[in-house]
Structure 1
Amino acid sequence: MSFPDDCRVLSIQSSVVSGYVGNKSATFPLQILGFDVSTVNSVQFSNHTGYKVFKGQVLNADDMSCLYEGLKLNKIHHFTHLLTGYIGSKSFLEKVGEIVKDLRKQNPNLTYVCDPVMGDNGKMYVPQELLEVYQKVMIPIADIITPNQFEAELLTEMKIGTESDAWKAMQILHDMGPKTVVISSSDLGSEGTIVALASSIKNGCKEQYRINMPYIPQVFVGTGDLFAACLLAWIQKDKNLKVALEKTVSIVQAVIQRTVGHALSLAGTGNKPTPEQMELRLIQSKADIEDPKILFDAVPV
């Protein structure tokens, strides 16, 4: 196994003061897996938007430009990886596209992992105008993308009703640019399961995997951000898509199971857990993140 002695990640996504979503969900796993992480918070809120109230600030394109300029003027914009997640404005996303290209001048081998956070369960929670920026600017320059099923449908403009549809959509996404495409969650499995699908093209050869996970009827926030961060880390460390997918899914499931157990014990029998009780038990899952027990097999397709 190769260890990331000098891997530096620039992570651009949302952040919260309390709880675990966006950069708060991605930074801790990356750091304990040996990565140096620098963060830009596209938004900074008091808590995630699933609570009754949230307050905070939204960065605009000029803010992003200003922060990046500071890094550049000090010549501290050397990164091996870029990770992007929730970005809420078109101009900000376009600015990040420019920064990716500029970072590649500094390091042509930069790995860009793009989690195109746009929505879930058939609903978009970013402005519609971001979709075109993802399609035309971000996806073509990404190395690895981690959409959920709904985001893959948006990006490819095709309905995914079967696993066969999913593989076709993933090929469309490959044709747009990324060498590795992972649908982080889908409802394409049998009842009671969620399916993740991964496809990678290297030197003209394609490898594809399916991995099943149990469906847990609770609302989780921050799991997609955790998934993308862990996938980045394990692909870098193991250089093996199958193993990286297995470790990533096993970590996310371990965190989810610990979170649900804790939330239900706090809520009491018959009560629905509150958003606060359902915050990811990320810190308590440190051992699972560092040395995941593989409980889910990625099956070659």
Structure 2
Amino acid sequence: MTPARFTILMNVTMDSPDDCRVLSIQSSVVSGYVGNKSATFPLQVLGFDVSTVNSVQFSNHTGYKVFKGQVLNADDMSCLYDGLKSNMIHHYTHLLTGYIGSKSFLEKVGEIVKDLREQNPNLTYVCDPVMGDNGKMYVPKELLEVYREVIVPLADIVTPNQFEAEMLTEVKIETEADAWKAMQILHDMGPKTVVISSSDLGPEGNIVGLASSITNGCKEHYRINMPYIPQVFVGTGDLFAACLLAWIQKDKNLKVALEKTVSIVQAVIQRTVCHALRLAGKGNKPTPEQMELRLIQSKADIEHPTIQFEAVPV
């Protein structure tokens, strides 16, 4: 290969609009699919280069009877990021954050967001403010203030579930009107796009996702219905946030990105349930191991989602 040709190829590669690099900071497990294990694979098959920092690394998710592992602190986070920065390899197009279990670690993330934006002012930050679900917090309450005051104002896209939206805004969401009110409060904090990934506001047998975007003063609101499946899933929120990041980047269209993301998550869920029930046998409740997301087996659905659910303008 001649030097001239090599230069041309390098220019084509570096100037490619698909050259997206994601720094993903969230939990991870050795076995199973939650946190970074749930988010990295779909991002990679969709063409994103992914760097991961594990806020915790456990043997398996906490729904098993036993889990063991390590919890990173703010100093650990600083050490890893300083290594990237010292080598000038901290240029990212996207930041994705999920489960973080300590206040100091979350505060450090806020510092890192600001530093990443100095390196790349066009950084897109997708924040999944993982704090709890179904009326119960599973992180220390002191994290809530950090999310409200520091993290959410830095985010471009935020993807809380219904309970997390209530906690962030102090709005009790009992109707769809309540949800839109809460989402506007989140917009006012800073994010241009707010997506409530799941809520109990739909008709019986359904859950509802709501999405809102404000661009140059123009508002978009969408509602999308999904079937409620009475099983316990772990890692679906992490999958949702990762897929939404990818498809918003690719399609530049909130409606289409929401439809593709929901269709992917539902395809993975349906495949997981069928597999788990078959392993458990008739009349038996699937174990946590049997209910691990069938993520790898859903590669085709992730790459080329068949839209099964329509996002309706509101």
TM exceeds 0.5? yes
Q: Give the distance between the partners of 1:224 and 1:199, measured in 2 at CA.
A: 18
Match of 1:227 in 2: 240
Residue 141 (structure 1) aligned with residue 146 (structure 2): no
Q: Give the distance between the partners of 1:53 and 1:209, measured in 2 at CA.
A: 40
Give unmatched runs, 5+ long, in structure 1: none
Q: Give the distance between the partners of 1:253 and 1:231, measured in 2 at CA.
A: 14
Residue 265 (structure 1) aligned with residue 278 (structure 2): yes
Q: Give the distance between the partners of 1:47 and 1:205, measured in 2 at CA.
A: 43
Q: Give the distance between the partners of 2:92 and 2:17, measured in 1 at CA.
A: 12
Superposed CA deviations along residues 77-103 of structure 1, whole A, max 9, x for unmatched, are 000000000000000000000000000
Equivalenced residue count is 299
Alignment of 1:121-200 (within 5 A): 121-200=134-213
Q: Give the distance between the partners of 1:99 and 1:202, measured in 2 at CA.
A: 25
Residue 4 of structure 1 deviates from its aligned partner by: 4.9
Q: Give the distance between the partners of 2:311 and 2:44, measured in 1 at CA.
A: 25
Match of 1:207 in 2: 220
SS across alignment from 1:258: helix
Q: TM-score, normalised by structure 1?
A: 0.99
Alignment of 1:1-301 (within 5 A): 4-301=17-314
**Larger Rg belongs to:** 2
Q: 1:4 to 1:221 in 2, by over 3 A?
A: farther
Does the CA contact (< 8 Å) of 1:4 and 1:236 recur in 2?
no
Superposed CA deviations along residues 189-214 of structure 1, whole A, max 9, x for unmatched, are 00000000000000001000000000
Give the % identical residues: 90
Q: Give the distance between the partners of 1:232 and 1:123, measured in 2 at CA.
A: 26
How much is the aligned-residue C-alpha RMSD, in angstroms? 0.6
Runs of 4+ in 1 over 4 A off after TM superposition: none
Q: Give the distance between the partners of 2:27 and 2:172, measured in 1 at CA.
A: 28
Residue 31 of structure 1 deviates from its aligned partner by: 0.1
Q: TM-score, normalised by structure 2?
A: 0.95
Q: 1:90 to 1:57 in 2, by over 3 A?
A: same
Superposed CA deviations along residues 256-298 of structure 1, whole A, max 9, x for unmatched, are 0000000000000000000000000000000000000000000
Residue 148 of structure 1 deviates from its aligned partner by: 0.0
